[in-house]
Structure 1
Amino acid sequence: MAFLDIHHLEKSFGAQRVVRDFNLGIEKGEFVSFLGPSGCGKTTVLRMVAGFETPSSGEIRIDGRDVTGIAANRRKIGMVFQAYALFPNLTVAQNIGFGLRIAGEGKAGIRARVAEMLELIGLPQLGGRYPFQLSGGQQQRVALARAIAVRPQVLLLDEPLSALDAKIRVSLRDEIRRIQRDLGITTIFVTHDQEEALSMSDRIVVMHQGVADQVGTPFEIYNRPATRFVAEFVGTLNLLDADLMEAASGRVRLGDVSVALNRVLPGRNGDRISLALRPETLALGRREGSDIILSGHVAEMNFLGSVIRIRVSIAGQFVSLDTFNQPDCPPPAVGTPVEVSLSGRDLLVMTA
C-alpha cells in the first residue's frame, strides 16, 4: 500500500461532476505534480486531500489511516497557498510558529523550531520583520516554512509560484525541491505550468475534465503521451494528417511520400490518421540515421536566443523544428526550399 492512497475519489457540485473516479498511490517522500488547465479538477483533488472539501464518494488514506471523514486540522497535512496567506499582524517568526503554538508546543520548542525553519529557508536574520517588509519570494519561503514547521506527513502546494516573476519562480522552485528532498516529505504540487511540473516532479498526473489522463515520470509524460490531450498540453507538438495505407505493416502516406513506421497501426486501410512528433526530433537537411526525408519550404522563423524555431510548410501542412543558434551559420530565409529529416520511431499515432 502506498503512503498516500486515493481510491475512486469523486466530487460533484450540484449537477456538475468535477472529479471522476480519481485513483492514485503516492510513496513516502515522493514529489508528485498535478498538471492541467484551469477547471480540470486538480485543485479540487488537492482540497479533498487537505480536508477542505468533502468527497462525494471515494477514500483517502495516509500511512494506512482513513482520513476521508477527518477534519483538516487533524490530518497532519501542511498547506502552502498561491496567495501566501501570511498573517499581516504577526512577524515572520510568529507566522512560522503559529501552527506549533496552536498545537500546544512549549515556548522553548517553538523558538528552536522557528530558528531551524528560518535557517532552512535561508532567512535567519528576518524573523522580526512583518510580511509587508518582505519580497514576494521571501513571503512564499515563509509560507513554506510555516507549513513544514508542524512536521506534516504530507505537504500540499497549490500553485505557490504563480504570483512571482519568472526569474524568482525558477530559483524558488529549485529551493522548494531541495527542501522537500532534505526533509523527505511526501508532496503534491498543483500547477498549470508544464515546465514546473517537468523540472520538479518524480511523477506527474496530467488531468483533463476531472480525470487523470496519464500518470508517469516526466520522461514518460513528454516522450510517450498516452492521449492526444497529454501530447498537445505537455510541450510543443507537431500534428500531421496521414493516410493509412497498410495498417499491418504501419505504412502511411504523408503528402506524396510513402512512409513505413514498421509497427502495427490502429485503424483500417484508407483511414485518415494523425501523427505527432516533437520539434527536437526533426532536423533541417539530411540527417544521418533518419529514415524519412520530406521536402518543403521555410514558412516562418522565430529567433529564441540559443534556439531557433523554424516552421516549414510540407505538402500543405506545417511542422516546427528546433535548431541551435550558430552565429557563423544563419538560418535559411523565409521561402527557401528545404529538406526535413525524421525517424519513423519518433512518430506517435494519436488515437484519443
Structure 2
Amino acid sequence: MTFLTLNHLQKSFGATQVVHDFNMSIDKGEFVSFLGPSGCGKTTVLRMVAGFETPSAGSIVIDGQDQTSLKPNKRNIGMVFQAYALFPNMDVFDNVAFGLKIAGLPKAEIEDRVKEMLDMIHLGHLAERFPYQLSGGQQQRVALARALAPKPQVLLLDEPLSALDAKIRVSLREEIRQIQQQLGITTVFVTHDQEEALSISDRIVVMNAGKADQIGTPFEIYNRPATRFVASFVGTLNVLDAVVVDPIQRILKLGDTTLTINEDIRAAAGATIQIAMRPESGTLCAIDGATFVGKVTSSQFLGSVIRTRIEVAGKSVSFDSFNDPGVKPPTIGEIVGITIDPSGLILLAD
C-alpha cells in the first residue's frame, strides 16, 4: 500500500537544476535507500520530503495528505542527521524528550515514552549523561531515539553513519534496520555507501545527476543494473569489449573465446559492444575446458575472499573466490583458467 508519494519533484538553485522530475511511490513500512555520489541530488530530495527545501515543481503526499507547502514542524516526520545535532546543554533524557515536550504531552507520558526509547537503543543507563560524554555511536543512537519518540509517520536518515568508524557503522546499521522493522515505520535512508544500501534496504534508488537511474531491490540493482552508471557505481565491475557473432543466437566473441549469453543482443553481427561481469562471476579452474586462460597479475588474500587479477583478452580482470584452506591462492605470473557463468554477464546500456 503506497504511503509516501513523490510526484514529478524538481528542484533548482538559481540556474542550476539539481533534481529532475523525480517520481517514486513508497509503501507503508518500507525501507528505501537513496544511493549515489556527492552532488547527485539524493539529500536534496530528502530535504524536500522533510520540508527544509521547497520543490520548484511537483508534490509530496504522505498517507493521502499533500505535504508540499507545509513547514517542517507541521509534518509528522522524524529526522536523523549526519552530525547527530544533539542539544549539547541537555542530557540524554531531555534530548529524547524534546519533541514530546514541544508537543505538550503530560510529564508521566513523556517519562514512559523516553524510557521505552532508551531501552530500545540500550542506553537507559546513560540517561543523565550529556552528549560530550558519549561516543559517536551512542550519540547517533540518541539522535535516532529522539527522532522516533514522537511516533512520526516517516523516518528520514541523512547519511547517519558516515562519521563513524567501520565496525560501529556495521553494527549500528543493523540496529537501525532492526528497530525500523520492529516499529514498522516508513523509512528513507540517504547514503553514498553501496554496502550500506545493499545490506539493509527493501529497495534502492540509484541517483545520478538529479535523476533516478534505477529503482529496485538490492538483488535487482546488483545483478541487473539498468544503466552503465548503475553497473559501474554499485559493486566492482569488469568491463570487456565483445564482438557480436550472432545476435539471434546470443553469441559473442571475447578475444579468442566464443560465448553464448542469456541476455538479448540489440546489435548487428560484427558490432563491438561492451559486456560486464562481477568478480564473483568467474571461477578459477584447470586450463583444460576453461572459458579464458590468463596470467595472474596480482593476488590478494582478504580472509574469506581471495581477489585475483588476471590478464584476459588484453585487459586486467578481477575475480573473487572463497578461501579454501586446502588450496593455495594463485601466485603472480601463474597461468590459470577461468570459467564464466553466462548468467553473470551483463550487457551495458548507455
Smaller-chain TM-score bracket = over 0.9
Judge conservation of contact 2:226–2:349 (CA < 8 Å) in 1. Answer: no
Aligned-partner Cα distance in 1 for 2:42–2:330:
43
Indicate the residue corresponding to 1:309 in structure 2: 307
Query: 1:189-242 CA distances to partner (integer Å, 9 max, x unpaired)?
Result: 000011111111011111011010111111111111111111111111111111
Indicate the residue corresponding to 2:144 in structure 1: 144
Indicate the residue corresponding to 2:104 in structure 1: 104
Q: Give the letter aligned to residue 316 of structure 1.
A: G
Given the alignment of the two structures, is residue 9 of structure 1 paired with residue 18 of structure 2, yes or no? no
Indicate the residue corresponding to 2:162 in structure 1: 162
Q: Give the letter aligned to residue 131 of structure 1.
A: P
Aligned-partner Cα distance in 2 for 1:118–1:193:
28
Cα deviation for residue 328 of structure 1 reads: 3.3
Aligned-partner Cα distance in 2 for 1:273–1:13:
38
SS in 1 for 2:49: helix
Indicate the residue corresponding to 1:29 in structure 2: 29
Given the alignment of the two structures, is residue 351 of structure 1 paired with residue 349 of structure 2, yes or no? yes
Query: 1:156-204 CA distances to partner (integer Å, 9 max, x unpaired)?
Result: 0000000111111111111111111111110000000111111110111
5 Å matches for 1:39-54? 39-54=39-54
Aligned-partner Cα distance in 1 for 2:216–2:260:
29
Q: Give the letter aligned to residue 223 of structure 1.
A: N
Q: Give the letter aligned to residue 338 of structure 2.
A: V
Indicate the residue corresponding to 2:199 in structure 1: 199
Q: Give the letter aligned to residue 314 of structure 2.
A: G
Cα deviation for residue 263 of structure 1 reads: 5.0
Which of 276, 279, 293 does residue 295 from structure 1 map onto? 293
Aligned-partner Cα distance in 2 for 1:300–1:324:
16
Aligned-partner Cα distance in 1 for 2:234–2:175:
24
Q: Give the letter aligned to residue 265 of structure 2.
A: L
Judge conservation of contact 1:251–1:262 (CA < 8 Å) in 2. Answer: no
Indicate the residue corresponding to 2:94 in structure 1: 94
Aligned-partner Cα distance in 2 for 1:27–1:178:
18
Judge conservation of contact 2:290–2:337 (CA < 8 Å) in 1. Answer: no
More displaced, 73-82 or 223-232?
A: 223-232
SS in 2 for 1:3: strand
SS in 1 for 2:152: coil
More displaced, 299-308 or 49-58?
A: 299-308
Q: Does the C-alpha gap of structure 1 residues 263 and 234 become closer, same or farther in structure 2, counting only changes over 3 Å?
A: closer
Aligned-partner Cα distance in 1 for 2:74–2:22:
23
Given the alignment of the two structures, is residue 256 of structure 1 paired with residue 256 of structure 2, yes or no? yes
Judge conservation of contact 1:249–1:263 (CA < 8 Å) in 2. Answer: no
Cα deviation for residue 63 of structure 1 reads: 0.1
Cα deviation for residue 292 of structure 1 reads: 6.5
Given the alignment of the two structures, is residue 126 of structure 1 paired with residue 133 of structure 2, yes or no? no
Indicate the residue corresponding to 2:70 in structure 1: 70
| Unpaired segments ≥5 residues, structure 1 | none
Aligned-partner Cα distance in 2 for 1:169–1:260:
42
Indicate the residue corresponding to 1:339 in structure 2: 337
Cα deviation for residue 250 of structure 1 reads: 1.6
Aligned-partner Cα distance in 1 for 2:180–2:104:
25
Indicate the residue corresponding to 1:220 in structure 2: 220
Judge conservation of contact 1:238–1:276 (CA < 8 Å) in 2. Answer: yes
Cα deviation for residue 287 of structure 1 reads: 10
Aligned-partner Cα distance in 1 for 2:341–2:327:
25
Judge conservation of contact 2:155–2:186 (CA < 8 Å) in 1. Answer: yes
Indicate the residue corresponding to 1:329 in structure 2: 327
Query: 1:21-66 CA distances to partner (integer Å, 9 max, x unpaired)?
Result: 1011111111000000100000000000000000000010000000
Aligned-partner Cα distance in 1 for 2:312–2:196:
33
Query: 1:319-347 CA distances to partner (integer Å, 9 max, x unpaired)?
Result: 21112223332122111111110122221
Aligned-partner Cα distance in 1 for 2:236–2:261:
22
SS in 2 for 1:125: helix
SS in 2 for 1:139: helix
| Unpaired segments ≥5 residues, structure 2 | none
